[in-house]
Structure 1
């Protein structure tokens, strides 16, 4: 990643207005023409633009690539960093450099600019290139807004501030005024920024705000997930689950079938995250259980068990990292960007969130009720209770999405359904742990290690599962007995 200090000044040009002869200031070189295509990235609420920071991917001209521009020490100066144009998404290094501005928000494409540029070099008596002057005809699109304008730009190469002032005076003397806009991005984004600041209580905005938070988590944690940083896989997995749940629970806010593929791809990524995360949980769970076993039986197998679990985690994490380097993962992330900037919303998305979203959440509660009745008819079938848990997660995350709509009411729902998912989640952890313990036992006994520690671990998991099941069922009864609950709200 290369860096440089950019020192430039912009001027407004009226239609048909040309630059004056600058031969009295410098030797003016021949014209070169370029067609530049740039995509600008920001958060949905334009945090970079408000902080006078610019991130873009541009092709054409002499500096194809990604550019990150940060405010400099003077109004005309900016620090500019470059990254290769081959990246289809914002480079992770760029995101990290502006993380304190993003505060976890997602980066998405917010504007496209097509520029026809005519460029000339301004040289001194000895041939040194002091600056580059260009005229630009810009065609910009940001959201639903289109703009066209002309401008001129003078950027220092080897010249100094005094030379830039001389060029400025020559231009102003010929009637070329300084631009009111500090950057092309600022001018292009102004109408879209006004739209974003407008009050909107629609269901579409509410669900996209929730989705945006989760996309921001996935983007912010990418590097940490690849490096197996503390809690990074877990937080990314939860964000992926929240995304899937929101797109299912509130599917009617989108046009029919428009988010189906994205939900399927999120499920694929969640499975890979789950492989790495489940091995983490299992290692922590069994390590703690082993520590409670009496000596010497417990310590006789600790090394064998912990080694096997560490190996399983390493393999699962390697598979996750490999998938994140592939085309499918890149397409998933690009699809999430487009979901935020060009969502295919249905007619109900324009309705007030407080009116249309609670009944949708009520539908998710209805699915839990149906699955709970099915599970209760065969209470020893743990697979059925696992299905209840997954459906309850959708309700929990759906209630989260309504926090900005219903406030304390939604928080009450969320807290109750969190107890449900935590209880049944502990059941599932015990089931998985027991399966792994049996597998390890079958191998280690052959190797001559005692069976007793494994039997003790199985008994521990069985007792924990019984307690967790009772907790989960109590929490489920409490959550479904809420009055009022999501099903009570409607048009």
Structure 2
């Protein structure tokens, strides 16, 4: 069974040996604020083989996978970036082959490419614990003498290059104040150490053992995207990257991961449909259908999660005197019945050949995009026109909603207007790098409108659920009073949103927003 550890650490390069202040290369750290003592834990020998695809897909996503022996945590380690200096390390017991649960977490990147050993790192680690006055671990400082060997083929294959270096790692202790890392860094910098130039040992090993040795740094691209197609393709690549990154997060059941994956699929679909003058629809339409399939399949669990959170918050806000009967228990049982099997269904979708084929299709589309003539035209000419077409669709749907009397038809019209507002918002967000503040202002107005219309739709869905709960409670001999009360609250919320719509639309339809887009 794998377990996860949040790793918060910083890496440093040692000065030349003649400049070192201590035999270990470390300054005296008992002078660091909060550190009462430094305890030497001895030297441990670590031997790790890192795995990746032949084209280094994991490395490109800042993901590392290794099999390590030695030390107290030997086994398989899979690391995902969280933010600068922070990674989640997922550990599985030592085995000859990669455990299935870790293989699943890299599937969106690896797919059918297969994993091969790429680097072997042998590290002599000199470990020191920084303790406070109570003996609590604040941080672990390691002086790592590293020998790297590039591998080809399977483990133990021919060398393709070697390198060696020494570095210092400072890892935050469990539940320790991150401020200790700043204090230690200040001391290390005074001693001549500098933050490591490579993000990880693997990154440095790959660079220094590359055929011909480390090459010169690539020159930064000049000018950025030029034509309209460059901007939209950059946006689409961001969404494809988000799908790949959120896949393992969904498998780990991390908060908001399903929502973020679905958002990425929706943004891609919206861009395909909005910017049809840039990308050939005969190619993108089938891909959009597959993206919709993923979003729909993953939506079962997410939609129930959102609904449960809404109803739970409504119940929590009621005085206890208005909670008649086993209200919370009834809601929990109802939610469990609604979401039964949804988790396994979600994972099954991510493991399906259909989904993996979609990922391959996206790679192919973005590598050789089906560009149309508008792709080469200036972004300032092409993108505003596409955004305004979405606006016109939105205006028609809002007008229809405002013309209807309250009731089911108006509820449906407002729901359709919400979808149009979202598409207009996404269109402007995709164009923001090219159009700047004008696109940002337009997107913000569309988002405000979308939020209000979305809350109205949520109230409609909540009312349907509350009626079901009231019927179930009544059939079980329980009081349905609380469910009726909550129904009334949701009905009032929907009516408030309907009253707000004319004012929100007046702001969203401000002619200056559209004029700014076109310059």
TM-score of the pair, normalised by structure 2: 0.60
After TM superposition, give the deviation of residue 468 of structure 1 in Å: 2.0
Render the CA deviation track for 1:114-138: whole Å, top value 9, x for unaligned. xxxxxxxxxxxxxxxxxx9999xxx
Question: Are residues 1:251 and 2:255 paired?
Answer: no
Residues 361, 486 of structure 1: 8 Å contact kept: no
Render the CA deviation track for 1:58-90: whole Å, top value 9, x for unaligned. xxxxxxxxxx9xxxxxxxxxxxxx9989x9xx9
Q: More deviation in 470-479 or 254-263?
A: 470-479
Separation in 1, partners of 2:231, 2:97: 36
Residues 431, 465 of structure 1: 8 Å contact kept: yes
Separation in 2, partners of 1:482, 1:216: 35
Which of 443, 447, 456 is matched with 1:418 structurally? 447
After TM superposition, give the deviation of residue 410 of structure 1 in Å: 0.9
> Quick one: structure 1 residues 39 and 468, their matched pair in 2 at CA, closer, same or farther if it must change by over 3 Å?
same
Partner of 1:323, secondary structure, is helix
Q: Report the aligned-residue RMSD.
A: 4.4
Q: Where does residue 399 of structure 2 map in the other structure?
A: 373
Partner of 2:357, secondary structure, is helix
Separation in 1, partners of 2:369, 2:58: 17
Separation in 2, partners of 1:406, 1:328: 36
Q: Where does residue 226 of structure 1 map in the other structure?
A: 251
Residues 323, 329 of structure 1: 8 Å contact kept: yes
Residues 438, 516 of structure 2: 8 Å contact kept: no
Partner of 2:244, secondary structure, is helix
Separation in 2, partners of 1:252, 1:238: 23
Q: Larger relative contact order (C-alpha < 8 A, sep ≥ 6)?
A: 1
> Quick one: structure 1 residues 466 and 326, their matched pair in 2 at CA, closer, same or farther if it must change by over 3 Å?
same
Q: Where does residue 327 of structure 1 map in the other structure?
A: 353
* Structure 2 residues not aligned, in runs of 5+: 3-46, 67-78, 80-94, 114-148, 165-206
Partner of 1:253, secondary structure, is coil
Which of 159, 172, 193 is matched with 1:155 structurally? 159
Residues 160, 209 of structure 2: 8 Å contact kept: no
Separation in 1, partners of 2:447, 2:213: 43
Separation in 1, partners of 2:65, 2:377: 34
Q: More deviation in 292-301 or 421-430?
A: 292-301
Higher-Rg structure is 1
Separation in 2, partners of 1:54, 1:283: 37
Separation in 1, partners of 2:329, 2:423: 39
Separation in 2, partners of 1:333, 1:460: 43
Q: Where does residue 21 of structure 1 map in the other structure?
A: none
Separation in 2, partners of 1:213, 1:92: 22
Separation in 1, partners of 2:504, 2:150: 69
Q: Where does residue 337 of structure 1 map in the other structure?
A: 363
Matches within 5 A, 1:389-468: 389-468=418-497
TM-score of the pair, normalised by structure 1: 0.63
Separation in 1, partners of 2:345, 2:515: 39
Partner of 2:159, secondary structure, is strand
* Structure 1 residues not aligned, in runs of 5+: 7-36, 56-67, 69-81, 96-105, 112-131, 136-152, 162-179
Separation in 2, partners of 1:186, 1:388: 58
After TM superposition, give the deviation of residue 307 of structure 1 in Å: 2.4
Render the CA deviation track for 1:347-398: whole Å, top value 9, x for unaligned. 2111121221111111110111122222223242211111111011011111
Partner of 1:359, secondary structure, is helix
Q: Where does residue 309 of structure 1 map in the other structure?
A: 335
> Quick one: structure 1 residues 160 and 433, their matched pair in 2 at CA, closer, same or farther if it must change by over 3 Å?
closer
Residues 287, 306 of structure 1: 8 Å contact kept: no
Residues 150, 209 of structure 2: 8 Å contact kept: no
Which of 500, 508, 519 is matched with 1:471 structurally? 500
Separation in 2, partners of 1:401, 1:108: 28
Separation in 1, partners of 2:404, 2:355: 39
Q: Where does residue 386 of structure 2 map in the other structure?
A: 360
> Quick one: structure 1 residues 452 and 250, their matched pair in 2 at CA, closer, same or farther if it must change by over 3 Å?
same
After TM superposition, give the deviation of residue 469 of structure 1 in Å: 2.3
Question: Are residues 1:212 and 2:204 paired?
Answer: no
Separation in 1, partners of 2:463, 2:314: 12
